[in-house]
Amino acid sequence: MALALITAKQVLVLFLLMLSGFVCAKTGAVKPEARKFFSDLLIYLVVPAMIINSYMTEFRAEVAQNLMLSFGLGTVLLLLGVVITLMVTRRLKGQQDAPIIRFACIFSNAAYMGFPLIQALFGAEGLLYASAFVTMFNILLWTVGYAMVAGKTGGKEILRGIAGTPVLWSVLLGLVLYLGRIPLPELLRQPITQIGNMNTPLAMIITGMMIAGCSPKSILCSPAIIRTTVVRMVIIPAVCMGLFVLLGLRGMVPTVLLLLEACPCAAITSVFAVQFGHNEELAAGSVVFSTLVSILLLPLWAMALSAVMG
């Protein structure tokens, strides 16, 4: 029951943030063209600051082994999600909406929704393992995911696009700061933290602005959105949990990682839809519908993980 209340509260916060963007767009307080500006601000400033901020924590030698395990298992889960998605959506090959559907299936809302849940359930140690997962998540997102939605297929083109994004550079910088135990002065820490804290509100506001231009019926009744949510929140977590059970993995690390993998579609799905000209209604609808469904599914997954992985 405690987890259900934590999850419901977090989802309500996200929806209220979306509502603010929705109201701003509907009332004309923010013009439609502002979405592109906001999405650029999010990708090129706010997200990098959030990533660097996540590494500005005290190094703990006693959990270093579990941290390395988190990197390894997180990579396995993420790659397994890619394989499952490609298999399930193989019939979509060549269709216009295929890239954004696959992106929504592969990438979860681990940082926005997962982090608050992990902090409430497992405390600081759980957040450290979650940060390891999100590091691998960001590397995959800005390589495989970026190439997928940007339509970049050539190796040089992909590398050029990735090298031009500040997110991977901020991951590398964060690792250097954390593993090198390099403290930043408060004069730098405070603005980085404050800018990084804009991440969830800004992403949700952008999504709300997109929803303002969508039909609620089309979001709630779209077969594509429903199928995307089933793949993201049912099929992928179930297969991943089955793999961990077969491998005999138990304890906090696999539980934290699986809970993050069971989160709804990543909010940045909507941002990328704006950036690269994909179906914005489908992207926003996938984020909204899966987030709504997560009110029920995330507590169920948490209870299942506690019973099986504990």
pLDDT tens per residue across span 189-235? 999 999 988 887 888 888 788 778 777 777 777 899 999 999 999 99
pLDDT attached to residue 34: 85
Residue type, 91: R
Predicted confidence at residue 208, as pLDDT, reads 81
Q: What sign does the dihedral 17-21-26-28 (CA atoms) show?
A: positive
Among 138, 159, 158, smallest CA distance to 148 is for 158
DSSP string, 256-294: HHHHHHTS-B-THHHHHHHHHT--HHHHHHHHHHHHHHH
pLDDT recorded at residue 130 = 86
Looking at the predicted structure, is the pLDDT value of residue 26 above 80? yes
Rounded CA gap, 281 and 215, in Å?
8
What does the alpha-carbon distance between residue 242 and residue 76 come to, in Å, rounded to a whole number?
13
So what's the pLDDT on residue 240?
95
For 110-151, the pLDDT digits (tens) are 877 777 778 777 776 887 788 889 888 888 887 888 888 887
- Residue range 250-267: mean pLDDT, rounded: 91
* Number of neighbouring beta carbons within 10 Å of residue 198: 17
pLDDT value at 242 more than 90? yes
**pLDDT of res. 7:** 64
- pTM for this prediction: 0.78
CA dist 157 and 99 (Å) reads 17
Q: How far is CA 161 from CA 101, 114, 241, 270, 271, in A?
A: 21, 28, 34, 19, 17
- Per-residue pLDDT band at 161 (split at 50, 70, 90): low
Closest CA to 135 of 173, 165, 164: 173
pLDDT confidence bin for 67, thresholds 50/70/90: confident
